[in-house]
Structure 1
Amino acid sequence: MRCSVMLLTVTALGLAGCTALPNSGPLSEAVESQAAVKVTSASKAKTAGIDYALVDLNKTLLAYVGDTVTPSFASGFGTGRGGAPNLPLGVGDVVQVTVFESQSGGLFIPADAGSRSGNFVSLPNYTIGRDGMISVPYAGRIRANGRTVEQVQREIEEKLANRAIEPQAIITKINSRSAQVAVLGDVNEPTKIELTEAGDRILDVVSQAGGLSVPGEETYITLQRGSRTGKVYYEDLVKNPRENIFVAPGDTVVVKRERRTYLAFGASGLNGRFNFEESSLTLGEALGQAGGLLDQRADPQQVLLYRTVSRDLLVKLGVDTSRFKGQTVPVIFRANLRDPAMFFAVQKFPMQDKDILYVTNSKSVELTKFLDILNNVTSTASGVSKDVVDTRNAIQDL
């Protein structure tokens, strides 16, 4: 009984005297007590108040999660199997019109032109204005914007048919300013590139801009076309020809380096922020990069991955999402590494940028911590009683 009383007394004195012990900063009690205003959770547990779903990693989940992590140009802008896009004439294009007649003495070729190298005349270069029109002598103003070269040539010939001798018109693009693509960002030579009738794909225009100036495994390619935007990893673009689609006039291609990282906490060999260092990274590889699980501390049944996912994924898995608002849901994916088959699963589960990996401590570790604290307190209590006796004897000796 006396030992219990002494233990409680020493413990209380130790806690009361904490403010007198060396500290690197204020105690949590002082921070809370001296606050002018406190905004805390109403619950006693002081939780963050964020609802989340807990999903165990299994075979069913693997069938869906792989489809949600890889952005695609092919799905958003169409595949690259079709032909190159048409390049109609547009505002700002500089064109030259050449008119041929079958013999001299017509509208454009004088009768005394026997010494000419050909029965044709080339008109001065003309820039298609904002109204989209060009002017051709004796044919008048002709709409060119949005039309193919063949269409404009045919209209010129029709309007000159009654005045020239079997006229034929040829339009040559001198400068195609309406059919350009801007390539910006982390390339060696950001520029505007004029497209060709042969067709230019995304990697073609990136190459013409001098190629990447940053590592490819940390690079995204963003394609902006009108109101649509898509983003693909550069290495996926190289590995999958289907993603290397044709660019179209007015597109903007942005090359940007973005470090993809994840955080690792808890009973893993290493804690901190880690780079992907490659275009794809699995949960198993992420665990290995973070030093694996600590044998003395980790609970292999509770390897947790924190991520925000689309509501559609949970619906596919049969999860009731009625408690969640919005199109995204916070989810904790749990892997049980005591299951031998789970090691195959973690090698197929893809990581995403800004994932949080947490390896929990086993329950035995928490018990060991408590026993260590208890042992320290009892040792301190016995030491205090011995110190009191030694002090009393010393005083008596004086």
Structure 2
Amino acid sequence: MSGRFLLSVPLLAAGLVLTSCTSLPRAGADDAAIEAGAAVTVSAKDHKVGIDYALVDVNETTLAYLGKAESASLLGGFGGGRGGPPELPLGIGDVVQVAIFESQSGGLFIPADAGSRPGNFITLPEQTVDRGGTISVPYAGRVRADGRSVEAVQRDIEDTLASRAIEPQVLITTVRSRSTQVAVLGDVRSPSKIELSPAGERILDVISQAGGLSSPGIETYVSLQRRGKTATVLYDHLANTPAENIYVAPGDTILVNRERRTYLAFGAAGLNGRFDFEESDLSLGEALGKAGGLLDGRADPKQVVLYRVVPKELLNKLGVHTDKFPKNEVPVIFRANLRDPAGLFAAQQFAMHDKDIIYVSNSDSVELLKFLNIVNSVTSTAAGVSSDVVETRDAIRAM
């Protein structure tokens, strides 16, 4: 009886170790307790997330499209890089002054006894283009100005006065132009509204007039908003690509925004967490180095993966069938094989993007060692319990 009892002790101890986890120290509730205590549980089969993704190996083909960081384009979205500056018509809110000349005195505006005045003209008081888009000229009435060039409005007034004044000539001067302003906001030293000139201003010109950047150019994005459409480009790309430095147009809004470029590293990397690009572009190899490289005793060099959302258009170029993905953005896992010597060259050419996630898998041997350690800890505990029972029995007999 006592022999069978002693043989059953290790099995009993192993069972207690495996089933009495709630008695062990914990930082909080375990998953079983959380699920058991929930009033309502919304869960998928096998706890799967349910997001479809594509798996793409990093090789010579993918590097042809992903070997350098892509940059958005203002020129492609709005044009305006070539040719002259945009026209600046009059608009609502503009303050103008109208001067009317006649060829001789005795006309509609210049009396016959004008004498030796310096010129046969009158200057009307300054006025604002009203909300109806018009200005007022004596004997010509309300004249439409909004959306028209100064020359066109001048000719219109001259034609209206031609039958009453003596060879009238009209000169319109823009005193203050509120309709030809652009707003420059965000990470510039002096956010403000800037009035455009007929000479034309480009994006870098108005940013300069707003005091320039207040943040590092490598982390700064410039967004141009025009008539409900928006395009964004990295400031350094804008500064280094003259074709992207397009003309701004009246009513544009330019938003300068600093965004810290970061990536995450998890798994069997030397360091886990969030890392900054800082003031440089990074390749996959450099990002791994920044995260402490691969742990020699844990990592599987064949299973270094990177998570990124990629446009369908790019995947189609790579020959990936995207019919199963309804959206234009597709979740993609890029897999790099660093056990292959050529894989290190590929990792050094594969460009990182903002908000990428790197995960380094454990090798199969590490998972096996984890299991063996659990088995060893259980058997060691069971052996300790058996030894304690024997010692207790011998002590009782000695009494």
Same fold, judged at TM 0.5 (above): yes
| Aligned counterpart, 1:53 | 54
What does 1:304-323 align with in structure 2 at a 5 Å threshold? Answer: 304-323=305-324
Residue of 29, 32, 41 corresponding to 2:32: 29
| Aligned counterpart, 2:259 | 258
TM (normalized to structure 1)?
0.90
* Deviation at residue 53 of structure 1 after TM alignment: 1.0
User: Per the alignment, do residues 335 and 4 of structure 1 end up closer, same or farther by CA in structure 2, a change over 3 Å counting?
Assistant: farther
For residues 154 and 292 of structure 1, the distance between their equivalents in structure 2, rounded to whole angstroms, comes to: 73
SS in 1 for 2:63: helix
The root-mean-square deviation of aligned C-alpha atoms, in Å, is 2.6
For residues 270 and 68 of structure 1, the distance between their equivalents in structure 2, rounded to whole angstroms, comes to: 24
What does 1:274-313 align with in structure 2 at a 5 Å threshold? Answer: 274-278=275-279, 280-313=281-314
Contact 2:9-2:386 within 8 A present in 1 as well:
no
For 1:265-289, what per-residue CA distance to the aligned partner results, in whole angstroms no more than 9, with x for missing partners? Answer: 0011110112222363332222122
Bigger mean CA offset, 252-261 vs 193-202: 252-261
* Deviation at residue 199 of structure 1 after TM alignment: 1.1
| Aligned counterpart, 1:168 | 169
For residues 349 and 148 of structure 2, the distance between their equivalents in structure 1, rounded to whole angstroms, comes to: 50
Contact 1:52-1:329 within 8 A present in 2 as well:
yes
User: Per the alignment, do residues 11 and 79 of structure 1 end up closer, same or farther by CA in structure 2, a change over 3 Å counting?
Assistant: farther
User: Per the alignment, do residues 279 and 127 of structure 1 end up closer, same or farther by CA in structure 2, a change over 3 Å counting?
Assistant: farther
Q: Relative contact order: is structure 1 or structure 2 higher (C-alpha 8 Å, sep ≥ 6)?
A: 2
User: Per the alignment, do residues 312 and 160 of structure 1 end up closer, same or farther by CA in structure 2, a change over 3 Å counting?
Assistant: same
The answer to whether residue 336 in structure 2 is matched with residue 332 in structure 1 is no
Contact 1:79-1:242 within 8 A present in 2 as well:
no
For 1:36-64, what per-residue CA distance to the aligned partner results, in whole angstroms no more than 9, with x for missing partners? Answer: 43332224xx3222221111112222333
| Aligned counterpart, 1:181 | 182
| Aligned counterpart, 1:349 | 350
For residues 272 and 297 of structure 1, the distance between their equivalents in structure 2, rounded to whole angstroms, comes to: 17
SS in 2 for 1:171: strand
User: Per the alignment, do residues 4 and 388 of structure 1 end up closer, same or farther by CA in structure 2, a change over 3 Å counting?
Assistant: closer
Contact 1:189-1:209 within 8 A present in 2 as well:
yes
For 1:347-386, what per-residue CA distance to the aligned partner results, in whole angstroms no more than 9, with x for missing partners? Answer: 3322223221101111122222223333333333333333
Residue of 2, 16, 21 corresponding to 1:18: 21
Contact 2:306-2:335 within 8 A present in 1 as well:
yes
Contact 2:270-2:292 within 8 A present in 1 as well:
yes
The answer to whether residue 124 in structure 2 is matched with residue 123 in structure 1 is yes
Contact 2:69-2:353 within 8 A present in 1 as well:
no
For residues 267 and 296 of structure 2, the distance between their equivalents in structure 1, rounded to whole angstroms, comes to: 13
For residues 83 and 392 of structure 2, the distance between their equivalents in structure 1, rounded to whole angstroms, comes to: 95
For 1:87-120, what per-residue CA distance to the aligned partner results, in whole angstroms no more than 9, with x for missing partners? Answer: 0011111111112233333333333434222332
Q: Aligned residues: percent identity?
A: 65
User: Per the alignment, do residues 164 and 58 of structure 1 end up closer, same or farther by CA in structure 2, a change over 3 Å counting?
Assistant: same
Give the letter for the 2:130 counterpart: G
SS in 2 for 1:341: helix
Give the letter for the 1:232 counterpart: V
User: Per the alignment, do residues 81 and 8 of structure 1 end up closer, same or farther by CA in structure 2, a change over 3 Å counting?
Assistant: farther
The answer to whether residue 87 in structure 2 is matched with residue 86 in structure 1 is yes
Contact 2:184-2:191 within 8 A present in 1 as well:
yes
Give the letter for the 2:363 counterpart: S
User: Per the alignment, do residues 37 and 169 of structure 1 end up closer, same or farther by CA in structure 2, a change over 3 Å counting?
Assistant: closer
For residues 197 and 60 of structure 1, the distance between their equivalents in structure 2, rounded to whole angstroms, comes to: 49
* Deviation at residue 4 of structure 1 after TM alignment: 9.4
| Aligned counterpart, 2:204 | 203
TM (normalized to structure 2)?
0.90
User: Per the alignment, do residues 375 and 149 of structure 1 end up closer, same or farther by CA in structure 2, a change over 3 Å counting?
Assistant: same
Bigger mean CA offset, 261-270 vs 113-122: 113-122
What does 1:359-398 align with in structure 2 at a 5 Å threshold? Answer: 359-398=360-399
For 1:288-316, what per-residue CA distance to the aligned partner results, in whole angstroms no more than 9, with x for missing partners? Answer: 22111112211111111111222222222
Contact 2:129-2:145 within 8 A present in 1 as well:
yes
The answer to whether residue 194 in structure 2 is matched with residue 232 in structure 1 is no
Contact 2:57-2:336 within 8 A present in 1 as well:
yes
SS in 1 for 2:319: coil
For residues 139 and 125 of structure 2, the distance between their equivalents in structure 1, rounded to whole angstroms, comes to: 14
User: Per the alignment, do residues 344 and 116 of structure 1 end up closer, same or farther by CA in structure 2, a change over 3 Å counting?
Assistant: farther
SS in 2 for 1:347: helix
For residues 120 and 335 of structure 1, the distance between their equivalents in structure 2, rounded to whole angstroms, comes to: 80
Give the letter for the 1:13 counterpart: L
* Deviation at residue 68 of structure 1 after TM alignment: 8.4
SS in 1 for 2:341: coil
For residues 392 and 24 of structure 2, the distance between their equivalents in structure 1, rounded to whole angstroms, comes to: 22
The answer to whether residue 109 in structure 2 is matched with residue 108 in structure 1 is yes
Bigger mean CA offset, 200-209 vs 382-391: 382-391
